[in-house]
Amino acid sequence: MRIAILDDYQGVASDLADWSRLPAGSSLTVFEKPLGDEDAVAAALEPFDVLVIMRERTPFPASLIGRLPNLKLLITTGARNNAIDLKACAARGIPVCGTRMVGAPTAELTWGLILALAKRIPTEERALREGRWQTGLTGDLGGKRLGLVGLGKLGSKVARVGQAFGMEVVAWSPNLTDERAADAGVTRVEKRELFATSDVVSVHLVLSERTRGVVGADEIGAMKPTALFVNTSRAGLVDEAALVHALSHGHIGGAGIDVFPIEPLPKDSLWLDLPNTVLTPHLGYVTRENYAVFYRDALEDILAWTAGSPVRLLSPA
């Protein structure tokens, strides 16, 4: 059995699970860098029976799945992966298994970005190293309004931290009710009001056809000139061109962004020239604790499948 692990950017997969438990005769290959376009991916992966992929780093559309004649099992870290064509896998009889996740690291990163922006941490840290002292004023969070686009598991955790800072927390999502918001100690408002009145806006929705582009030019245009925008969810939720325009023209105060339409971020990306931003390379789930669960569960997925009882199966909608 030939097994490949993809996109192990940090080179940690081999150490975070006991791969010696694989069936006798198995071979394990780890790819640490992106493989390239679909032709390159198909050529590199054609020999493998089992693939372990990291979240949505490498897409698996029907066209690629059809070019992998030896593929018998596909494992993704996490419990969902929108970059896999599950129907195409089902049509080929290829089971797709997921893994668990632990904690709420994305909620923690959200607050890292909010604090970095509000307290000017990257800017002042760079200035200090360059010999300058106190180059600007930071802002308080207490008494300000935090607007959450999405109040699910992660949004609710972000809300609780905002409340601990003394912020007024409001929320909107397509399905959010007044009762559900009240249960979280949050006030539900309409989307336009959230963007127009919040001092910090943070996005916490699952990307779907219904939510794609849910934050558009109208919403971004309604924001205060001092407001901060944070996205640790998915790039497709936001009109990137509208957000870049607002930032480059000083229409909003700044943005903390962890997710991008093209990842890894190209060297010529417009994002890299925007000074009023804090950018991170999709770190929301990239913790040692999470990765340990990812790879240990992936190993369990392989062993369960070889035993004829696959676990954590993902099914087409």
Three-state SS across the chain? CEEEECCCCCCCHHHCCCHHHCCCCCEEEECCCCCCCHHHHHHHHCCCCEEEECCCCCCECHHHHCCCCCCCEEEECCCCCCCECHHHHHHHCCCEECCCCCCCHHHHHHHHHHHHHHCCHHHHHHHHHCCCCCCCCCCCCCCCEEEEECCCHHHHHHHHHHHHCCCEEEEECCCCCHHHHHHCCCEECCHHHHHHHCCEEEECCCCCCCCCCCECHHHHHCCCCCCEEEECCCHHHECHHHHHHHHHCCCCCEEEECCCCCCCCCCCCHHHHCCCEEECCCCCCCCHHHHHHHHHHHHHHHHHHHCCCCCCECCCC
Residues classed as catalytic: 234, 263, 282
